[in-house]
Amino acid sequence: MTFRLVRRRSSLETFTKTNHFDSLPDELKMKILSHIVNNIKQLLQVGLVSNEWLRLTRDSIFWKKHIASIIGLKGTNFDTFRKEIKLVYTLAQVFQIIKPRNSARKRNSVFYKILHVFGLKNREGLDSLFEVQKIKELKKETDRINIEAHGIEILWQEIQNQAMPVDDLSYPNFDELKDIEDKTLIIKKFNEWIEVNKDKIILHKLDLSNKKIKYLSPAICKITTIKKLNISNNALTFLPENLGNLKNLKILQLKQNKLEKIPITISKLKKLKILDLFDNKLNSIPNEVALLKDLIALSLGKNMLQSLPDTLKDLPRLQKLHIYCNNFTHRPTVLKELEKKGIEIIIRV
């Protein structure tokens, strides 16, 4: 198999030859890249570069933290590697493999052609060779850390913006915080900061709405002065299990997220008066919600609920219940009891 720089192809030629490298799974591309970068001269000679190489090398955290351990490149100047790959990109064209017919054997042959290029001809133990599962787990962990760090950066800055000024309470330089490449340090610094300052922070209302966050740090639940918490219109899929520690919380607004469930510990919010869960992905409500004895308004509209807990009838102060746009197959039986109490129920819009 030989490789060469190619000229711009006609429509017919493009139809007969396709850039199949770009369609390979990311973990396979990254593993192939990890073999190439041991020898930049070889990379220049072969010229197997496409825009995918550049995209994969932009994740500097992945490179510095994980690729070094996978291929033993400790102490390597990764920035230099990325610059060299970018240079090669300007000189080389795409990796072309003739499109195989639609058979499993020939589809697999694309992968084995790639193995052949790098002298990896032994087909046995390919899973261990490419460490696909390991790379998937590393990438998943990297994504999780980035999501958590992003949520914490926003939360930290909003605490500073919305908390009452306190003389001996200091905050980090948020511009410098954003420049930290190892995001685990941000998570660690925030948790330590909360632990040291939780009793100094005076924060009654915290508005985190419309911030595009996917993660709410459990550490926020240590600021027990919060009475109103608005996290509406974000991308949360879960809430901290220690949410019930916000013992003074009266209003909790969680509408327009992607929550699939709410923690049972929410039942510990004994002072909660308003709970807004409109427009999420909830398919059930825990029976323990009946322990919210001060609850006045409960919004469950536009979810995926098929039923309601009978324990809702045990909410002594409930005045409003919004349950429209759900997946009820029949009228929940508890509604009859609630109507007898004169509770305003909105089931249709």
Give pLDDT, residue 58: 60
Does residue 123 register a pLDDT over 60?
no
Question: Rounded mean pLDDT of 295-305?
Answer: 97
d(CA 186, CA 175): 12
Residues 98-113: pLDDT tens digits?
333 444 444 344 444 4
Give pLDDT, residue 249: 98
Neighbouring residues of 276: CB distance < 8 A, sequence distance ≥ 6: 232, 252, 253, 254, 255, 297, 299
DSSP 321: E
Token pair recorded at residue 71: 């291929």
DSSP 10: P
Domain 193-346 sits in CATH at 3.80.10.10
Does residue 327 register a pLDDT over 90?
yes
d(CA 264, CA 222): 18
Burial class (CB in 10 A: 0-12, 13-18, 19+), 234: buried
Q: How confident is the model at residue 18 (pLDDT cuts 50, 70, 90)?
A: very low
Give pLDDT, residue 133: 53
Domain coordinates in residue numbering, the chain? 11-130, 193-346
* Number of alpha carbons in the 13 Å side-chain half-sphere of residue 128: 4
Sign of the Cα torsion 251, 255, 258, 261 reads: positive
What share of the chain in percent tops pLDDT 90? 52
Q: How many Cβ atoms from other residues are within 10 Å of residue 301's Cβ?
A: 20
Give pLDDT, residue 7: 40
Higher pLDDT, 13 or 316: 316
Give pLDDT, residue 55: 55
Q: How confident is the model at residue 142 (pLDDT cuts 50, 70, 90)?
A: confident
Higher pLDDT, 204 or 50: 204
Residues 226-251: pLDDT tens digits?
999 999 999 999 999 999 999 999 99
* CA 263 to centroid of chain Cα atoms: 19
Give pLDDT, residue 178: 84
DSSP 158: H
Q: What is the pTM of this model?
A: 0.65
* Lowest mean pLDDT segment, chosen from 69-73, 90-94, 206-210: 90-94
Residues 22-55: pLDDT tens digits?
555 555 555 555 554 454 444 433 334 444 445 5
Q: How much is the mean pLDDT over the chain?
A: 75
